[in-house]
Amino acid sequence: MRRFIDRASRYVVLLAASISFLILFAIAFFIIARGLPAIQEIGLVEFVTGTVWRPGQGQYGILPMIVGSVAATFGSLILAIPMGLGCAILLAEIAGRRARRFLRPVVELLVGIPSVVYGLVGMVLLVPLVRNLGGNGYSVLAASIVLMAMILPTITSISEDAIRAVPRAYREASLAMGATQWQTIRHVLLPAARSGIGASIVLGMGRAVGETMAMIMVIGNSIKFPTSPLDSARTLTGNIALEINYASGLHEDALFATGIILLVFIIILNTISFFALRRSRAQNIA
């Protein structure tokens, strides 16, 4: 009986793993099956490098959306990395037990807030503030700030774990050699936790690229190249969500094709981060 349960449990977890693989495969298959004909009809180069998106006129260029997605994502990372790392260092090294017991759940609670709520708060609170800086407020900057809040908990909690996982001996050795607490954090703990911190950034980036609802509400959705952080733009995900309701024919297929580009986009991002991580790890060992 025990052996039976042992064997059966193996198949159960195997089943779970294959179902998640199947889901991924099914999504990729359907997006490609619907989107590929559109890419063939429009032409890959025209589709990816075209600067005009006017489905009504038969113009399907998504370069402005690619730029919009990249701009909002990198904007959010520029804001979220220092803040997330700061939070992580505070929680792992500086805060006392009681402060940590209060702060950690607060940061983690940010994950549970639905993205439409982020969008709503961004729309009524943040956009008018950004408007004071110039432009109409619906902007890459507003989007980056909203995304920053959304990916902050990911970066914070994974980085905190990574810093915490650095062996105690490292800290003690550094402090024993006369290094201050800041020097220890800066020169010993952060380098040692580098791969975990890198992973937290990759995960945050993934969430930022995929975020849709909150982006639609604060970025303005103009189909143009943002020339400053105060400019409006449109993201790849936003393009799909905005137009899928009434799209038909080639327009609808072109939105699926946008999904393919998004998929490729995320694969490229993950690959870059994967190699960057591996190199940093190799350096770490050397």
Partner 1 sequence: MRKVFAKWSTGILSLVALAIALTGCGGALSGTITESGSTTVQPLAEKLAAAFTEENPDVEIIVQGGGSGQGFKDAVDGISDIGALSRELKTEEAGQVVKHVIARDGIAIVVHPSTTVSNLTKEQVRDIFAGNITNWNEVGGPNQEIVVISREEGSGTRGAFEEMVMEGDLITTEALFYNSNGALKTAVAGAPYSIGFLSFGYLDSSVKALSINGTPATVENAKSGVYPIVRPLLFVTKSEPEGLVKEFIDFCLSEEGQAIVEEEGYLSVT
> At a CB cut-off of 8 Å and minimum separation 6, what does 184 contact?
171, 174, 175
Q: Which of 50, 251, 266, 269 binds partner 1 (CB under 8 A)?
A: 251
Q: How far is the CB of 122 from partner 1 (least distance, A)?
A: 11
Contact between 34 and partner 1 by CB under 8 A: the answer reads no
Residue 127 C-beta: closest distance to partner 1, Å: 7
Write down the residue that tokens 């189909």 correspond to: 223
CA distance linking residue 232 with residue 19, whole number of Å: 40
By CB under 8 A, is residue 54 in contact with partner 1? yes
- 220 scored as a contact of partner 1 (CB under 8 A): yes
Select from 83, 59, 228 the least CA-distant residue to 145: 83
Q: Does 279 bind partner 1 (CB under 8 A)?
A: no
Residue 226 lies near partner 1 (rule: CB under 8 A): no
Bin 58: left if φ > 0, else alpha if -120 < ψ < 50, else beta: left
Q: How many residues bind partner 1 (CB under 8 A)?
A: 33
Of the candidate residues 136, 180, 228, 271, the single one contacting partner 1 (CB under 8 A)? 136
User: Is residue 55 within 8 Å of residue 187, measured between CB atoms?
Assistant: no
Distance CA 21, CA 189 (A): 36
**Residue 53, strand partner residues:** 60
Site for partner 1 in 90-129 (CB under 8 A): 123-124, 127-128
Q: Give contact residues for partner 1 (rule: CB under 8 A).
A: 52-57, 64, 123-124, 127-128, 131, 136-138, 216-217, 220-224, 232, 234, 241-243, 245-249, 251
